[in-house]
Amino acid sequence: MNKINKLKKAIMLAIVFAAFQVQSVFAQSGVTGINTATSSLKTYVDPATNIVLAIGAVVGIIGGLRVYSKWNSGDQDINKELMGWGGSCLFLVLSAAVVKAFFGI
């Protein structure tokens, strides 16, 4: 009876040891996962920044037309309008450049 218990313990120990060995084989390093995610994101950064720049160009043209229209109509509040549209266009251009620099593109 004592030999059977020792044999059961040895078998259980072998099974547990084998399970840990198999689990360590399937474990993935965190670095490879991060590198995979970064390379996947790099494929989307360039088209996304181009879309942002195109939207910024359209917004800039519309803003320029609004400022020109207000300026010709003699509106006194032209400085606030000009600074708002200019700042938004500058933000779009700079944010696209920062995102490209962040991903090294």
Higher-scoring residue by pLDDT: 75, 65:
65
pTM comes to: 0.55
Question: Is 76 part of any domain?
Answer: yes
Question: Is 14 part of any domain?
Answer: no
Question: Is 54 part of any domain?
Answer: yes
Question: Is 63 part of any domain?
Answer: yes
Question: Is 70 part of any domain?
Answer: yes
Rounded mean pLDDT of 7-24? 66
Rounded mean pLDDT of 37-66? 83
- Whole-number pLDDT of residue 83: 85
pLDDT, tens only, 27-46: 556 777 778 877 887 788 88
Question: Is 45 part of any domain?
Answer: yes
Question: Is 1 part of any domain?
Answer: no
- Identify the domain containing residue 75 by its residue range: 31-102
- Whole-number pLDDT of residue 27: 52
Our count of domains for the chain comes to 1
The DSSP result for the chain, as a single string, is -HHHHHHHHHHHHHHHHHHHHHHHHH---HHHHHHHHHHHHHHHHHHHHHHHHHHHHHHHHHHHHHHHHHHHHT-S-HHHHHHHHHHHHHHHHHHHHHHHHHTT-
Question: Is 15 part of any domain?
Answer: no
